[in-house]
Amino acid sequence: MVGARPLRRLSALLALLAVPALVLGCGRSAAAPKAAHLSSGESCGRLVALTFDDGPNPPFTQQILQVLESNGVKATFFVEGQAAEANPDTVKLLDAAGMDVESHSYSHSQSLATADAATFRSDLDAASAVFAGILGRQPMLYRPPFGNTSDVMLKELADAGYTSIGWDVDSTDWQETDPSKIVDAVLSQVHPGAIVLMHDGGLSGGNPDRTATIRALPLVLAGLRERGYELKTVSQIIDPAVCNTTGF
């Protein structure tokens, strides 16, 4: 039994020294989480996601949907809460067609990226309530207006269960009226896992003519398929499980 008492004293001392480390460790793990902000998807296969912002915007949203359906394509629509509130039947139409309907804020205000937590969360919750009222569920993805984020925004999105989604291919259809230039912008930048920015509506709930986008879309789809790309929704291409799909 010689030496047992010194060993007990040593064990007690080590236990005391461990307490500050545990406290510090708890402090680090208690840091507020931030939502992921993704601008592209998995690159394990030749997958691409087309996204359409700022709608719904009748009749252009319906015309875009018609092109997608006639080509057997599912896409992601980042919908403004205020526009959804004004056009609930169009939102239901997108959902019924199997499109991915996600949030693009309520107001599409440029100030949301610099807003305090309460102001941003109020806008986020207002949009979520609109979607819940129309579709019976809250979206899981959120595209920040103008693509601008902040730590405050990402924390509030994480708390609300959202993932923030950007893009890495800009079709330029928000400013371009020549369909051929929209097609060239997409096909010249596309890569495996790309998230492509397009529009069915207008900034801040406007009602622009999206004829150029509608004319470009069939050529974009054909060009992507000629290059061996498969079109998916954003939810699909950001899921790592997509890499387990046969052939990838």
Question: What is the residue-wise DSSP string for 161-174?
Answer: T-EEE--SEE--TT
Among residues 53, 100, 184, 200, the one annotated as catalytic is 53
φ, ψ at 60 (rounded to 5°):
-70, -35
Residue 37 annotated to the active site: no
What is the three-class DSSP state of 94?
helix
53 carries an active-site annotation: yes
Query: Tokens 């307490």 correspond to what residue?
Result: 19
**Interatomic CA distance for residues 120 and 114, integer angstroms:** 9
Q: What is the DSSP letter of 40?
A: B
Bridge-based pairing of strands 169-170 and 194-199 is parallel
Residue 33 DSSP class: P
| Catalytic option among 123, 184, 199, 200 | 199
CB atoms within 10 A of CB 17: 9
Hey, which bits of the chain come out as E strands?
37-38, 47-53, 76-79, 100-103, 141-142, 163-165, 169-170, 194-199, 230-232
- From the list 144, 210, 204, 148, the residue with the least C-alpha distance to 182 is 210
Active-site positions? 53, 199
